[in-house]
Amino acid sequence: MQKKDTQKKKLKIALLGTRGIPARYGGFETFAEELSSRLVERGHEVTVYCRRFFGEAKPIETSYKGVTQVFLPTVRHKYLETILHSLFSFLDLFRRRYDVALLCNAANSPFSFLVRLRGLPLFINVDGIERRRSKWNALGRLWYRIGEITSTWFATRIVADAKVIADYYLQTYRCQSSVIAYGGTAIKKDSGLVLSSLGIHPEKYILYVSRLEPENNALGVIKAYGLSECNLPLVVVGDAPYATSYKESLKLEASKIMSTNGENNTEKNTAKKVIFAGFKFGADYHELQSHCYLYIQATEVGGTHPALVEAMAYGNCVIANGTPENVEVLGDAGVFYSVNDFAELAKRLSYLVGHTEERGRLQKLAKARADKEYSWERICDQYLELFYNF
The enclosing domain of 171 has a CATH number of 3.40.50.2000
Determine contact, residues 274/258, Cβ cutoff 8 Å.
yes
Asked if 178 and 220 sit in the same domain, the reply is no
Rg of the chain on CA atoms, in Å? 21
Residue 267 has pLDDT above 70, yes or no: no
Asked if 367 and 381 sit in the same domain, the reply is no
Which DSSP helix (H) or strand (E) runs through 168? helix 163-173
- Which residue type does 328 have? E
Report the number of distinct structural domains present in the chain: 2
Residue 170 has pLDDT above 80, yes or no: yes
Distance (Å, whole) CA 207 – CA 246? 20
Asked if 88 and 237 sit in the same domain, the reply is no
Q: What letter does residue 5 receive in the DSSP assignment?
A: -
Single pTM value for the model: 0.83
Q: Model confidence over 270-306: pLDDT tens digits?
A: 579 999 999 998 899 999 999 999 999 999 887 788 8
CA torsion 143→149→150→153, rounded to 10°? 180
Domain-embedded: residue 6: no
Which DSSP helix (H) or strand (E) runs through 338? none
Asked if 223 and 154 sit in the same domain, the reply is no
Asked if 224 and 161 sit in the same domain, the reply is no
Asked if 337 and 261 sit in the same domain, the reply is yes
What phi and psi, each to the nearest 5 degrees, are found at residue 194? -70, -50
Domain-embedded: residue 5: no
Q: Looking at residue 222, what is its pLDDT?
A: 97
Domain coverage including residue 244: 193-373
17: left (phi over 0), alpha (psi -120 to 50) or beta: left
What phi and psi, each to the nearest 5 degrees, are found at residue 73? -80, 160
- Nearest CA to 209 among 299, 138, 274? 299
Q: Looking at residue 269, what is its pLDDT?
A: 46
- Which residue type does 15 have? L
Asked if 162 and 225 sit in the same domain, the reply is no
Q: What letter does residue 151 receive in the DSSP assignment?
A: H
Domain-embedded: residue 3: no
- Which residue type does 61 have? E
Asked if 126 and 166 sit in the same domain, the reply is yes
Asked if 212 and 357 sit in the same domain, the reply is yes
Asked if 154 and 291 sit in the same domain, the reply is no
Q: Model confidence over 103-160: pLDDT tens digits?
A: 999 999 999 999 999 999 999 999 877 777 766 778 878 988 999 999 999 999 999 9
